[in-house]
Chain A
Amino acid sequence: MTTKPKSKLFNICAPIALIILLVIVWQIACTAFDISFHVLPKPAEVGRALLENFPRTIFPDMMASVKVMLAGYCIAIPLGFAIAAFSSQFNLAVKSIMPVLIILMLTPMATLVPIFKLFLGVDPTLKIIIVVLQCTPVIAVNSLSGFIYVPQAKKDLMRALGCRKWESFFRVTVPGAMPQIFTGLKLGCILCTIAAMSADISVGQGGLGYRIQVASSLSATDLAYAAIVIAAILGVVLYMAVSLVETRVITWK
């Protein structure tokens, strides 16, 4: 079960080579089996659609999705963190809020889109609200369980040094909970992408999800796949950004 560490270069090249290979297989398979354009366009066609439509439709859609994702995610982080920080201070709050948060985490917030439409119409803030609702519980649950499991010895040390409660929270509890906080943030960013896309699809009014929906109903499969590629890239970039921050923050691992 031992895996020998390979060189850094190899670790970068291997997945790129695999992606290129997959694209080539996709192209060849489409040609060889004569797969209909409406079912699965060739990568070359998707690439062309991407380039042709980028300035006119895909770029504005991308910016709309990015705005929703970032706004939602940036509200969800402090909100989830605040809920966790507040409830970690009271035993009773932990006991009562944790299960409710877990239930919220497991309930897809896309279910609320149709209901919220009744209040808000197709207001763009609706999408942001959906993203916030989907991301906050998972961030809160993970941070909270990080906050709860601080070794008693460390707390005692802070008390012995005469630290105030909030000082001990920010100097001991938060750094100790960092790995869990980042688990929550990474899951949050995955859910944030999913929520933004499904909100786009069911709310409409721009965004990559909306573009995919429209293109597929017009049988413009090449454009739909182009939008999916961009959505995938957004998800991966957001995840990588969070991971990068994680390696900067958690230097002791």
Chain B
Amino acid sequence: MEKNYALKNAPLVKILGSGIPPIVLIVALLAFWQISCVVRDIPTWMLARPTAVGGALASGFGALLPDILSTYANIIIGFALAVAIGLAVAILISSFSLLSSALTPLIIALCCIPMVTLVPMMMLVLGTGPNVKIIAIIIQAFPLVNLNSVVAFLNVSPERLELMQSLKANRVQSFLYCVFPDGIHGVFTGIRLASIMAMVTGVSSEIIGGNAGLGSRIIYFINFSKTADAFSCIIYIAVLGIIIYGVISIIESRVKW
């Protein structure tokens, strides 16, 4: 993975500060949606109107709460474990060149393999509990943390590393005082990208094999033509994405260098 300045340069804090244009855009889109539903007389079971979705958000919250919590917990746990594993493996790989040569291509391959395909298989072994989803999230998300961190750790500024060599710092000291802080932005880029994978994989595995969680509720609501409730599930999922992304941005904004 390249160093990704892309996502780094759009911290949520800044976005919230200048929140008016996007809010105006979103309101305009919602108004357009509402008006076209009304004007073209689209049946509500086919496409819910924003007002109906708003109503569903308010009235359905209590009933949906267990599913919201289950989805949020699975994704947050899986994502947190993915970050921890990705970072740990990155530290190992960047320290030993043999590991780097052998593992890096496999880790790249791992993040290109759609883990959702393994969900039905894993459910045969592990049942329908949250474990399958968490494992799928970990496997899909950790490579991005890993690859970005390894690139960051191996591309430490040579002058900064030379100071460590000059002081004959040992591996641990050199990593703690120099390599890790120097590569922290690369690590954050990886974490940010992994959050996208965690969201996509977590929700897709709920849709494919869930008996709990917002993904499975969407299917349920559609089967009963409760389109507005299905949309409210999507909004709860989007909110989780914004929360995760926002927390990452806030933590990263405390890194001042």
Other-chain contact of A183, B1, B94, B196, B199 (Cβ < 8 Å): B1
Known: A1-B171, A108-B203, A183-B2. A221 touches B121 (CB 8 A): yes
Determine whether the beta carbon of B207 is less than 8 Å from that of A202: yes
Known: A39-B125, A201-B116, A209-B117. A142 touches B106 (CB 8 A): no
Determine whether the beta carbon of B21 is less than 8 Å from that of A92: yes
CA of A191 to CA of B197, assembled, Å: 8
Determine whether the beta carbon of B234 is less than 8 Å from that of A197: no
Determine whether the beta carbon of A193 is less than 8 Å from that of B207: no
Q: How far is the CB of B73 from chain A (nearest CB, A)?
A: 17
Determine whether the beta carbon of A180 is less than 8 Å from that of B222: no
| Residues of B contacting A19 in the complex (Cβ-Cβ under 8 angstroms) | 106
Determine whether the beta carbon of A235 is less than 8 Å from that of B234: no
Of all chain A residues, which has the CB nearest B230? Answer: A115
Determine whether the beta carbon of B125 is less than 8 Å from that of A40: yes
Determine whether the beta carbon of A134 is less than 8 Å from that of B21: no
Determine whether the beta carbon of B111 is less than 8 Å from that of A190: yes
Of all chain A residues, which has the CB nearest B182? Answer: A1
Determine whether the beta carbon of B179 is less than 8 Å from that of A111: no
Determine whether the beta carbon of B204 is less than 8 Å from that of A108: yes
Chain B residue total in the interface (Cβ 8 A): 83
Q: B46 on the interface (CB 8 Å rule)?
A: yes
Known: A194-B116, A202-B207. A148 touches B9 (CB 8 A): yes
Of all chain A residues, which has the CB nearest B205? Answer: A198
Chain A: interface size category: 35 or more
Determine whether the beta carbon of B199 is less than 8 Å from that of A106: yes
Q: A186 on the interface (CB 8 Å rule)?
A: yes
In the complex, which residues 202-222 of chain B have their Cβ closer than 8 Å to any Cβ of chain A?
202-204, 207-208, 214-215, 218-219, 222
Other-chain contact of A112, B101, B112, B234 (Cβ < 8 Å): B234
Other-chain contact of B124, A14, A39, A108, A114 (Cβ < 8 Å): A39
Known: A3-B97, A10-B101, A107-B237. A235 touches B120 (CB 8 A): no
CA of A24 to CA of B109, assembled, Å: 19
Other-chain contact of B195, A106, A145, A197 (Cβ < 8 Å): A106
- Other A-B contacts than A1-B175, A4-B97, A201-B120, 14 sampled, CB-CB below 8 A, are A10-B101, A14-B98, A38-B124, A106-B195, A108-B204, A111-B214, A111-B237, A142-B4, A148-B9, A180-B6, A186-B1, A202-B207, A208-B117, A213-B208
10 pairs of residues in contact across A and B, judged by CB atoms under 8 Å: A1-B174, A2-B161, A6-B101, A102-B245, A106-B245, A108-B199, A108-B237, A119-B47, A180-B4, A227-B117
What 6 A-B pairs come out closest when comparing CB atoms?
A106-B241, A96-B21, A235-B112, A14-B102, A145-B6, A99-B22
